[in-house]
A and B are shown apart, each in its own frame.
Chain A
Amino acid sequence: GQSLEQPSEVTAVEGAIVQINCTYQTSGFYGLSWYQQHDGGAPTFLSYNGLDGLEETGRFSSFLSRSDSYGYLLLQELQMKDSASYFCAVNQGGKLIFGQGTELSVKP
């Protein structure tokens, strides 16, 4: 079967750093993507790891370890607008298998 595990919710304060973990078990794997979705909005692409290591895009970084079937999204200098759901997704050659999402609440 195919499964992705990520925490259902995380709470942090403005200015803090938060890490959202994702472990996966899938039959095919090309890489791990991260998407952000605000309430009532559409998922939007944040980051991608096709190889092991850290990818940095501004305040957001994503890490992948293929040997551990594990990745994480790191959000730094949290802002209120970062309150949203964050999804990891395994890329199977264009077919995205999504995790159940992590709801991030940023408090003042």
Chain B
Amino acid sequence: DTAVSQTPKYLVTQMGNDKSIKCEQNLGHDTMYWYKQDSKKFLKIMFSYNNKELIINETVPNRFSPKSPDKAHLNLHINSLELGDSAVYFCASGLRGSYEQYFGPGTRLTVT
């Protein structure tokens, strides 16, 4: 049983395109997150949703738009992709306020 799953695992696309990444968790957690990990392995939080409500919105270009249809799903849509968006995007889930978060396998996005 996969706890936190993401699709797709790999995404290669050209500059200017729009793409989406999907995430699902079956752990019963009420909070989900998107993180970006760059080529130097620096892991930075982007967004967090608690029960479909946006609770964390870091300084992220507005080309990035998260959506949470229910507390088990969190999607990330990226418009007008740029070369600098190339990274691994991790979804994670946990209970609100918890220090323990469960990460998905990541989506490696390459923008050419």
8 A-B pairs in the complex with CB atoms less than 8 angstroms apart: A30-B97, A33-B99, A42-B90, A43-B103, A45-B102, A48-B100, A94-B99, A96-B99
Q: Which of B86-107 contact A (CB under 8 A)?
A: 90, 94, 96-106
Task: Determine the interface band of chain A, counting residues with CB < 8 A from chain B.
Answer: 20 to 34
Instruction: Decide if the interface of chain B is mainly helix, strand, loop or mixed.
Output: loop
A82 vs B96: C-alpha distance in the bound complex, in angstroms? 30
Min Cβ gap B6→A in Å is 9
Contact B42 A96 (CB under 8 A): no
Task: Say whether, besides A94-B31, A98-B42, A45 and B100 are in contact (CB < 8 Å).
Answer: yes
Instruction: Decide if the interface of chain A is mainly helix, strand, loop or mixed.
Output: strand
Q: Which of the 9-residue segments B43-51, B63-71, B75-83 touches chain A?
A: B43-51
Chain A's closest residue to B55 (CB) is A94
Interface size on B, residues (CB 8 A): 22
Contact B41 A100 (CB under 8 A): yes
Task: Say whether, besides A93-B97, A94-B98, A42 and B103 are in contact (CB < 8 Å).
Answer: yes
Q: Does A95 contact B (CB under 8 A)?
A: yes
A48 vs B94: C-alpha distance in the bound complex, in angstroms? 14
Task: Say whether, besides A45-B101, A50-B99, A91-B99, A96 and B45 are in contact (CB < 8 Å).
Answer: yes
B46-60, CB under 8 A of A: which get 1 and which 0? Answer: 001000000010000
Contact B97 A101 (CB under 8 A): no
Min Cβ gap A5→B in Å is 13
Q: Give the chain A neighbours of B94 by CB distance below 8 A.
A: 94
Q: Which of B19-52 contact A (CB under 8 A)?
A: 31, 40-45, 48
Q: Give the chain B neighbours of A48 by CB distance below 8 A.
A: 99-100
Closest 9 A/B residue pairs (Cβ): A42-B103, A91-B99, A94-B97, A98-B43, A33-B99, A48-B99, A45-B100, A43-B103, A101-B41
Chain A's closest residue to B97 (CB) is A94
A41 vs B41: C-alpha distance in the bound complex, in angstroms? 12
Chain A's closest residue to B41 (CB) is A101
Chain B's closest residue to A39 (CB) is B41
